[in-house]
Amino acid sequence: MQSNILLNKAFMRTKILLVILVVSSFIQVAAQEKKFNFGIKVAPAISWLSSENKNISSDGAAVKCNWGFIGAYNFSQNFSLVSGFNFNYLEGKLKTDDVGLYNHNHPLMYDVNMPDNNGTKRSYTEFQIPAVFQMKSNEIEHFKIFLQIGLAGGVLVKAKQNDVENVFSETSLFNSSFIVAAGVDFPIKGDISLIGQLKYNGGLTNVGKGGFSEAKVSFVELGLGILF
């Protein structure tokens, strides 16, 4: 009887020791290779409109400021899938010299009381979810370099023409983009780091209907953020 009690005690100690070893090993692995990072960013941006119609051309860009939430899943120390969400504030101007394109009910490019080259400005607010593949270097002189490539899908939640007229009914609901980016990661303390990023977001789908049915919106942004 006593020998059985001693055996049971020894078995329990062995199980407890095994659990402690497994948990400590898991903690060490998690500390060495963190799987998830989260953060926020702000990004001054230059956006513009372009058109596939040969009679319509871009007539200037606009400076705005985007912001967003960053979420990254790390496959390894050097490769990650980066997503999250962004609020992009986009604007551009298109013009035409072809009077035949003018429509009195839906002016395509200009008001009849304005010179032809004044063009028409459109502004959009986009809720965007990116999915990009990130490649990051090992640490070089206290920072890391990373490259990103991927796609993004967005919903246009607001649209204005010349800062006044609501043209949401003449706007496509969904927008898709191609993303290429490069940046640097500066570790601060522990898992906290600052990031700086230059990103090109090229529009793939048309953002309008009617006269703007061949218009795409693109932008370049300089993002500054913090990751945890």
What DSSP string runs through 89-129? EEEEEEEE--GGG--SSS-SS--TTS-GGG-EEEEEEEEEE
What value does the mean pLDDT of the chain take?
Answer: 82
Q: What percent of the chain has pLDDT over 70?
A: 75
pLDDT at 94: 83
DSSP 140: B
- Residue 169 main-chain phi, psi, to 5 deg: -70, -20
The angle formed by the CA atoms of residues 174, 178 and 183, to the nearest 5 degrees, is 130
d(CA 188, CA 183) in angstroms, rounded, equals 16
Q: Would the pTM count as exceeding 0.85? A: no
Is the confidence at residue 206, as pLDDT, over 50? yes
pLDDT, tens digit, for every residue of 46-67? 999 998 877 777 888 999 999 9
Mean pLDDT of 172-199: 95
- Options 2.40.160.20, 3.40.50.150, 3.20.20.80, 3.30.830.10; CATH for 34-227 is 2.40.160.20
Provide the residue ranges of all domains of the chain, joining segments of one domain with +.
1-32, 34-227
Q: What average pLDDT does the segment 146-157 reach? A: 97
Tell me what the mean pLDDT of segment 37-41 comes to: 95
Q: What pLDDT score was predicted for residue 146?
A: 98
Cβ–Cβ under 8 Å, residues 154 and 177: yes
What was the pLDDT predicted at 26? 47
Region 211-218 average pLDDT:
83
Q: What is the pLDDT of residues 86-142, one digit of tens each?
A: 999 999 988 876 655 545 444 444 443 232 356 788 899 999 999 999 999 998 988
Q: State yes or no: pLDDT of 176 exceeds 60.
A: yes
